[in-house]
């Protein structure tokens, strides 16, 4: 399959990229700094640009069947529009390119209806610390709810670690599985890649954690 991956230079994005290439997909990635990728492969096309400059990647997108977005803010907790404005641009570019299928990441920790977010630590430490990121993720999810022409799927991981792939993570619609709070980036990547040929979670939000 031809796949466009946004956020390939990030921790999770890189894990996703490695798995896609292992599975012999043809992958297009957008990188603000292509040197940061450190991966070369005959099936990999690296496009230098920013999500806010669609002219840089629109041609690549036209050749793809599926978009994966692992966009994020890295270590910054400052106000961001990467999910809302960046996401809006992803959707607009997909429509223009005629690509329908999207897999994107947000987080499990911001949903107040999730009983797991009512703990002292999440409510009084995690949510205030990441409030700008979470509020922008919420906008992105709301935008997707209103974009039913796109076959989107939202993956909401628990806290991300750089631990090894275990393969024994749990998956639950909307809310983190009971007692689950973290998951490695490589296990998130495993789940992302397994969704490529599956329609199970289209127009669904799915939380993943150990
Ligand atoms: N940290 C956690 O515990 C946690 C928990 C749940 C969910 N999440 C979410 O999971 C996702 C992956 O997180 P991560 O820590 O593995 O990755 P990350 O380090 O946040 O990676 C972000 C990616 O987005 C790219 N990006 C940012 N702005 C861009 C722009 N304007 N144009 C193009 N690319 C841009 C970055 O590129 P550059 O390399 O150029 O910066 C990088 O490739 C994020 O959305 C994160 O918020 C994180």
Pocket-testing residue among 10, 32, 84, ligand 1, by greatest number of atoms within 8 A of Cβ: 10
User: Is any atom of ligand 1 closer than 6 Å to the C-beta of 93?
Assistant: no
Per-run averaged pLDDT (10 residues), the chain, 210 residues: 98 98 98 95 98 97 98 97 98 98 96 90 94 98 98 98 97 95 97 97 98
In angstroms, what is the span from residue 34 Cα to ligand 1's centroid? 15
Contacts of 20 (CB under 8 A, 6+ apart): 3, 5, 27, 193
Task: State the pLDDT at residue 157.
Answer: 98
- pTM comes to 0.97
User: Is any atom of ligand 1 closer than 6 Å to the C-beta of 52?
Assistant: yes
Q: CA-to-CA distance for 152 and 78, rounded, in angstroms?
A: 27
Task: State the pLDDT at residue 112.
Answer: 87
Do residues 160 and 109 touch, judged by C-beta distance below 8 A?
no
Q: CA-to-CA distance for 181 and 128, rounded, in angstroms?
A: 17
In angstroms, what is the span from residue 75 Cα to ligand 1's centroid? 8
Closest CA to 4 of 57, 73, 56, 81: 57
Task: State the pLDDT at residue 116.
Answer: 87
In angstroms, what is the span from residue 109 Cα to ligand 1's centroid? 16
Whole-Å CA distances, 108 to 38, 175, 195, 208 = 30, 7, 18, 8
Whole-Å CA distances, 130 to 3, 40, 80, 127 = 30, 34, 11, 5
User: Is any atom of ligand 1 closer than 6 Å to the C-beta of 180?
Assistant: no
Q: What are phi and psi of 145, to 5 degrees?
A: -55, -30
| Neighbouring C-beta atoms of residue 110, cutoff 10 Å | 21
User: Is any atom of ligand 1 closer than 6 Å to the C-beta of 87?
Assistant: no
Instruction: Report the nearest atom of ligand 1 relative to the CA of 159.
Output: 3
- In the chain, the domains with their CATH numbers are 2-209 (3.40.50.720)
């Amino acid at each position: 399959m031809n796949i466009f991956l946004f956020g390939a230079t990030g921790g999770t994005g890189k894990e996703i990229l490695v798995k896609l290439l292992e599975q012999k997909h043809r992958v297009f990635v957008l990188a603000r700094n292509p040197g940061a990728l450190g991966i070369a492969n005959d099936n990999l096309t690296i496009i230098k640009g920013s999500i806010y400059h669609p002219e840089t990647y629109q041609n690549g997108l036209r050749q793809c069947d599926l978009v994966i977005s692992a966009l994020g803010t890295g270590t910054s907790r400052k106000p961001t529009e990467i999910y809302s404005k960046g996401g809006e641009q992803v959707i607009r570019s997909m429509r223009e390119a005629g690509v329908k299928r999207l897999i994107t990441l947000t987080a499990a920790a911001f949903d107040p209806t999730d009983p797991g977010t009512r703990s002292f630590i999440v409510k009084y430490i995690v949510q205030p610390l990441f409030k700008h990121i979470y509020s922008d993720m919420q906008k992105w999810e709301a935008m997707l709810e209103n974009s039913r022409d796109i076959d989107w799927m939202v993956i909401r991981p628990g806290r991300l670690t750089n631990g090894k792939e275990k393969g024994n993570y749990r998956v639950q619609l909307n809310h983190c599985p009971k007692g689950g709070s973290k998951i490695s980036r490589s296990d998130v990547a495993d789940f992302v890649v397994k969704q490529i040929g599956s329609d199970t979670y289209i127009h669904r939000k799915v939380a993943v954690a150990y």
